[in-house]
Structure 1
Amino acid sequence: MNLSPAQTFAISDITARAGDLSDWTATIFGFGETAWREYRSAAWYVERLRAEGFTVEEGSAGMPTAFCADWRNGPESDGGPVIGLYAEYDAVPGNCQAASPRREPRAGLGYQAGGHTDPHSGLGMAGLGALLAIKAAMLAHNIPGGLRFTGEPAEKVRGSKPIHAAAGYYDGLAAILSFHPFYMLPMCNTVRWDTHCGAAYAMVYRFICDAPEGWGLHDGAPIPQSHSAVRAPGANDALTLMYQASKALREAMLPHQGGWSISEAILTAGQATADNLPAGLAEVQYMIRVPTIAMADQVTAVLDRNAAAAAAMTGCRWERHWVCKSRHGLANHAIARTVWEAMQAVGAPVWGEAAKQVAREIQANLGLEPMAEPFIDEMSRLIDPEAAEAILRRDLPPSQANSTSDDYTDMTWHAPTARFYVARPALKALAGQAYPAWVMNALGGIPATIDPMVQTAAKILALSALRLLEDKPARDAAMAEFVTRTGGGVGGSAWTAPLCDYPPPIHFRWPEYITTPRGQDWWIPSAMPGA
C-alpha cells in the first residue's frame, strides 16, 4: 500500500503524540469505572475533545456517560463524507488491578472494585489518537469531510450502541471503523470477514413483594400476625428460585446448537427490615449471547416463564427491564479490504525489551522461569482475514452466520463498518500452566506493555479513515456493498431495524465509586484494611 501524503502525515502525528497517548491511557486505566457509571472517564474525553476543537454533545441519547463529538473541515453544506470512530471506557467489577507486575489493587481499593480487562482504556485511546491525527492531516492537506467520535459506555453489558443506533447517531456516516484489543486466535491482528458477532439481549428481572399479606390467605381470612404465622417467602426467595430454575433449564433453552451463552449477576437482594418480614425487592440480571435474534427471543420467553413461576410461588410480582437488545452483525468485504491494506502497511505490534522485562518480572513473581521471548508469537503476526475466517468456521455449523457477541454490530446496520483486532500483550504458557486473570489486566495498564497496541491500532484507524476520505472509489465500493446487503440501505428490504425500544437503563444499582466520610470507596465494600 502506497501511503498518501496525508496518511504519512497522520502516522508521524501519532508517533509524535506517543507520550501523551501513553499518559492518557494510564489515566483512563486508573479511573477503572464500570458500566453506566463512567463519570470521570466520560468527562475527561469531553474536556479533551473540546480542547481539540470538536463540538461535543454530553449525555447523548439520554445516557449521562455517553457523548457525541463532531468536527468538519469546511462548511457543512459541502456534504463531504463523515467517518465514524468511537471510544469505550468501561471497566469490569471485581477486577481492580494496579499497573504493576504483581497482584495488587489500585491504591486505596480492594480487588472487588472496577478494573480494565479488555482493556477499554487502550481501545478508547487508540481511537482518540487516530481521531486527532486524521483531523490534523485533513487540515494540513485540505481534505474535505468530517469526523464523528462517539463515547460508548457500558459495552460490557452491550449498553450504549443499540441506544445510539436507535437515536440516529450512526445514520448518514460514510463508514464506521471499529477496533478492539484481542488475543484469542485466530481473530488476532486481522479484520472480520463473513462471521461477525451475533445478537445479545440483557435484562434485569425485578421481584417486588409489596403485598405479602395476601400470600397466606386461607378461606378468605389471613392468619393473625405473629412470629409463628405463615408469611410470604418474599423477593429473595423469588430471586433464588429464578436463579436455580434458569440454571436447571439452561440446556433445554437452546439445546446443543448455535454456540450460545447465558450469564447472570445478582444486582440487589434483601431490603427486609426485620428477620420476620419478607424481603421486599430483589433483582437479577441476565445476559444472552446468541447467533440470531430469534434465538434471543426464545430464551427470553423461557426466562419470562421462570420469573412468573418464581413470583407466584413467593408472593411477589415481577418486572422485566431491558438493559440491551443488540442486533447481529453485517459483513462488508469492501471496507474490510481497505482496513486490511492499512493493517499490512502498519504491521503488527512489536514489544521491545522494556516490555519483555515487565513480562519476565511477572513470570518470576509467579514462580515461573522467565522466558527470553515471553509474549505469544502470534501477537506480532498478521493473519489474512479470509484465512482467519476459514479457521473460525472449523468450529461452527455451516448454518450459523454469526458467533459470539459485541454491540458494535448495531453500527453495521447504519453504515459500512469494519471490525478489526490488534493484539494486546499476552504471555506464553508452558503445557499445564495458566496465568491468573490479574496478569492480563496488569499488562493492559503498564505503559511499556500496552502502548505498542495503542500506537498500532491508532495508525491503522488513521490510515483507514484517510483512505476512505481521499479515495472515493473505495468509499463508494463499501457503500454499494452496504446497500446490496441491506436491500437498499437503511430501511431496505433486508435491513434489520434497531431493537432498542427501552430507555437507557441508568437507574439500576450498578456498582460505582462513592465518597464517604472514610474517603473514596466502592459500593461493594472493598477498601483495603487500614486504608
Structure 2
Amino acid sequence: MSLTDEAKKTAQAWVDENLERLTEWHTHIWQLAEPAWREYRSQQWYVERMREEGFEVEDGSAGMPTAFSATWSNGDGPTLLTYAEYDAVPGNSQAATTTEQPQDGTSRFAPGHTDPHSVLGISTLAGVLAAKHAMIEHGITGTIRYTGEPAEKMHGSKVVHGLRGYYDNVDGIVSFHPFYMLPLCNTARWDTQCGAYYSKVYTFSCDSAETWQVSSADPNSPIPASHSAARAPGANVALMQMYTSSRIMQDAMLPAAGGWSFSDAILSDGQATADNLPQRVARIQFSWRTPDIEMAEHVLAVLDRNAEHAAAMAHCELEDRWIARSRPGRTNHKMAEVLYDNLSAVGAPQYGADAVAVAQEVQRGLGLDPSEKPFLAETEQLIEPQEAERLLREHMPAWQRNWTSDDYVEMSHYAPTVRFYVSRPALQPVPGAGPYPAWVMNALGGIPATIAPTIQTTGKTIAGTFLDLFSKPELLAEAKREFDERVEAEPMPALLPADFEAPIDLPWPEYK
C-alpha cells in the first residue's frame, strides 16, 4: 500500500471516529439559520473552531464581517483551498422534525437551511480536518486554506475574496454543494459549469419633494410645501414603476430559451409617512441568471433604462449598486477526474435503518403508505461525470454552454477548480401523490440520522482528493496546464473593479 493510500485510510478513519461530533456541529449551525450578510454567530463559531484546530484565522476577511480566511501549513508544498457557506434562506424556518413546523421561537417566515448550506460547511470542514490529521500522521507537506463565504444566495463573498487576492497563489480548489437536482448527484461537473449571475439594487430617493410643483405651494405657508400642495409622487411610485415596467418587459429581455431566470426583492427600509408627504426612499433588487455574459448584459441594459425613467417620473434621484456580477465557470477535467476517483473509492451515501425510519414517519404523517426504500434511488448511487454531462445536455439547447448559477464560478478563474455534489436526503416520489412539500427536504437536512451520510461521504472524498494532490505533483501540474490553456483560449476578466466592496451596509433583513 502506498503512502498516499495509507494516509487516505487514516483520514477516512478520522471521519468515522468523529462523525457524531461533526453531526452535532452541523445541528448547531443548522439551528442558527442566519440569512445573507447577517451570519454573525455562524461565522464566529467557525472562527473559534478553526483557531482551536491550529489554523491562523483572519476574522472578517476582505472587509466582510461574516467572512473569514483560515490557513494551516505542514511545510513546503502546494496550497489547496475549500470553503464553508452558512447563510440560510428567508421564509423557510423548519424544525428538525417529521412534521411541518418552524424552529422553536421563530415564525415560519424566519430563515431556514434549505440547500442546506449548513451541511456544505460542516462537510468541507470534515474533509479539511481529516486531511490535516493524515498529513501530520504521515508527514505529507503542504498548506490548507479554508475560507468562510457568506451570502452565497446573493453571490456575495467569493467575488470580493477573489478581487482582494484571497485565491491568489492557490494551486487547486475543491468546491462542494449538496445535491439539489438530477443528474448532478454523487458526481462532479464535467464541461457544463454554472453560468453568469448579475444582481443589482436600485435605490429611489425623493429628497426634494418641495420642488415638484412650486407654483402650487401656498406662499404664506411657513413650511416649504403646504398640505394642500400637489404631492410629489415619491419613492414608492418610482419603485412600483420600476417593478411593473421590468416585469412587463421580461419577455422582451431575452429569448424564451437557454434556461435563464429573473427575480426581484423589495428591501424593507421604506419610510412610513403621514398626511401627504411622499415616501423618501425605496429600494428594489433584481437578480438574473443567464448562460453567458452577453445575455446578462442585455437584461442589464433594460433594467438601467427602466430605472432612469422610473426615477424621472416620480421626482426621485436614482442610485444603483452592484450586489454581484459573476462570470461563468471554467472547467478542469483533471481536477474532476481526481475528485471523482476519490468519490468512487468512498462510495455513495447509504441511508441506514434509523434514516429509513425517519423517512417512513414523514410519509405516514402525510397520509402515505411507508415505502420499504423511501429515499430517492439516485441519492445512493454514483454517476460518472461524463454520463451526468450527457444527461444534462439532453435538457439544453445545443448552443448553450452553461446552466443555472452558483458563485463558485468566480473561484474557477483563479485556480484549477472542481465542482462536485454529494446527495442530501431526498425522498422518492410516490406515484400519483405528486411532489413532497418543500418542508420535507428542509427537515431531513436537519435530522442527524438523515444528514450524517452526506457529511461522512463528502468529508472522506475531500480529504482523499487533497491527499492525492499534495502527494502527487504531476496531478496539479496537469491541472495547471489545462487551466492555463483554457484561460489563454478564452480570457474572461473580472466584471467588477478591484476596489469593489461587499454591500454589507444595505438594509438586509434579519427575518425573525
Bin of the TM-score, shorter chain as denominator length:
over 0.9
Match of 1:512 in 2: 510
Secondary structure in 1 aligned to 2:114? coil
Could you tell which deviates more after superposition, 225-234 or 151-160? 225-234
Q: What letter is aligned with 1:32?
A: A
Deviation at residue 146 of structure 1 after TM alignment: 0.5
CA contact 1:193–1:333 (8 Å) conserved in 2: yes
Distance 1:206 1:102 in 2: 41
Matching residue within 486, 493, 500 for 2:496: 500
Q: Please give the TM-score of this superposition, normalised by the length of structure 2.
A: 0.96
The alpha-carbon deviation at position 214 of structure 1 amounts to: 2.2
Q: Is the 8 A contact 2:227 2:275 kept in 1?
A: no
Q: Which amino acid aligns with 1:88?
A: E
Residue 228 of structure 1: how far off its partner (Å)? 4.1
Corresponding residue of 2:26: 25
Alignment of 1:156-167 (within 5 A): 156-167=153-164
Q: Which amino acid in structure 2 is aligned with residue 318 of structure 1?
A: L
Q: Which residue of 1 aligns with 2:14?
A: 13
Say whether 1:109 aligns with 2:106. Answer: yes
Equivalent residue runs for 1:478-489 within 5 Å? 478-487=479-488
Q: Report the Cα offset of residue 510 of structure 1.
A: 0.8
Task: Report if aligned partners of 1:327, 1:498 keep a CA contact under 8 Å in 2.
Answer: yes
Distance (whole Å) between structure 1 residues aligned to residue 65 and residue 231 of structure 2:
41
In structure 2, C-alpha distance between the alignment counterparts of 1:357 and 1:40, rounded to whole Å: 32
SS of aligned partner of 1:389: helix
The equivalent of 1:436 in structure 2 is: 437
CA distance in 2, matches of 1:414, 1:495: 12
Distance 1:139 1:118 in 2: 33
The alignment covers a number of residue pairs equal to 502
Local SS of the residue matching 1:4:
helix
Identity across matched positions, percent: 52
Per-residue deviation at 1:432? 4.4
The question of whether the paired residues in 2 share the 8 Å contact of 1:93 and 1:511 is answered with no
1:165, 1:498 within 8 Å by CA — same for their partners in 2?
no
Distance 1:268 1:301 in 2: 25
1:152-205 superposed Cα distances (whole Å, 9 cap, x missing partner) = 000011110111111111111110000100141111111100000001011111
State whether residues 193 and 329 of structure 2, in contact with CA within 8 Å, keep that contact through their aligned partners in structure 1.
yes
Distance change >3 Å, CA 428–CA 275, structure 1 → 2: farther
Paired residues of 1:183 and 1:379 also in contact (CA < 8 A): no
Q: CA deviation at 1:495?
A: 3.0
**Paired AA for residue 71 in structure 1:** W
> What does 1:358-397 correspond to in 2, within 5 Å?
358-397=358-397
Note the 1:202-241 alignment, pairs <5 A: 202-217=199-214, 221-224=215-218, 225-241=225-241
Q: Aligned residue for 1:288?
A: 288
> For 1:76-155, what aligned pairs fall within 5 Å after superposition?
78=76, 80-155=77-152
CA distance in 2, matches of 1:30, 1:256: 39
- Write the deviation string for residues 430-462 of structure 1: whole angstroms up to 9, x where unpaired: 234121111111011000011111111111111
The alpha-carbon deviation at position 365 of structure 1 amounts to: 1.3
Query: Segments of 4+ in structure 1 off by > 4 A?
Result: none
Find the residue that maps to 2:88 and give its secondary structure: coil
How far apart, in 1, do the equivalents of 2:210 and 2:368 lie? 61
- Which residue number in structure 1 is paired with residue 342 of structure 2? 342
d(CA) in 1 for partners of 2:201, 2:493: 23
Residue deviations 1:459-486, cap 9 Å, x none?
A: 1111111111111111111111111111
Contact residue 349 and residue 454 of structure 2 kept, 8 A: yes
Classify the secondary structure of the residue corresponding to 1:57: strand
Q: CA deviation at 1:257?
A: 3.0
Secondary structure class of the residue paired with 1:278: coil
Taking the aligned partners of 2:126 and 2:178, their CA distance within structure 1 comes to 15
Deviation digits for residues 181-239 of structure 1 (CA, Å, limit 9, x no counterpart): 0141111111100000001011111110111122234xxx3443444431111111111
Partner SS state of residue 205, structure 1? strand
* Structure 1 residue 331, shift from structure 2 partner: 0.4
SS class of match (1:306): helix
Moved more, 253-262 or 343-352: 253-262
Q: How does 1:16-95 map to 2 (within 5 A)?
A: 16-74=17-75, 78=76, 80-95=77-92
Counterparts of 2:368 and 2:229, CA distance in 1: 61
Distance in 2 (CA, whole Å) between partners of 1:382 and 1:183 is 15
Residue type at the aligned position of 2:111: G
Deviations 1:326-361 (Å, cap 9, x if unpaired)? 111000111101111011101110111111111111
Change (3 A) 1:269 1:248: farther
SS in 1 for 2:412: helix
Deviates more, 1:361-370 or 1:60-69: 361-370
Q: Name 1:173's counterpart in structure 2.
A: 170
1:273-422 matched pairs, under 5 angstroms:
273-422=273-422
Alpha-carbon distance in 1 for matches of 2:272, 2:292? 40
AA matched with 1:143: I
1:190-209 aligned within 5 A: 190-209=187-206
Q: Give the Cα separation in 2 of the matches to 1:291 and 1:275.
A: 48
Write the distance in 1 (CA, Å) between the matches of 2:420 and 2:284: 33
Given that 1:271 and 1:280 are in contact with CA atoms closer than 8 Å, whether structure 2 keeps it comes out as yes
Contact 2:332 2:479 in 1 (8 A): yes
Q: Which moved more, 1:392-401 or 1:151-160?
A: 392-401
Aligned equivalents of 1:500, 1:140: Cα separation in 2: 43
Whole-Å Cα distance in 2 between the matches of residues 358 and 324 of structure 1? 39
Cα separation, 1, equivalents of 2:236 and 2:270 = 6
Structure 2 partner of 1:245 = 245
Query: Deviations along 1:57-83, whole A, 9 cap, x unmatched?
Result: 011111000000001102xxx3x1011
Aligned pairs (5 A) from 1:430-469: 430=430, 431-469=432-470
- 1:492-530 CA distance string (max 9 Å, x none): x733222233211001111226xxxxxxxx2xxxxxxxx
Alpha-carbon separation, structure 2, partners of 1:292 and 1:263: 17
Code of the residue aligned with 1:234 in structure 2: it is G
Q: CA RMSD in A?
A: 1.4
Q: Deviations over 1:236-280 (max 9, x none)?
A: 111111111111011111122322111001112531331311111
Q: State which drifts further: 93-102 or 391-400.
A: 391-400
User: Is the Cα contact below 8 Å between 1:213 and 1:222 reproduced in 2?
Assistant: no
Contact 1:272–1:278 (CA<8 Å) still a contact in 2? Answer: no
> Residues 268 and 509 of structure 2 are in contact (CA less than 8 Å); yes or no, is this contact kept in structure 1?
no
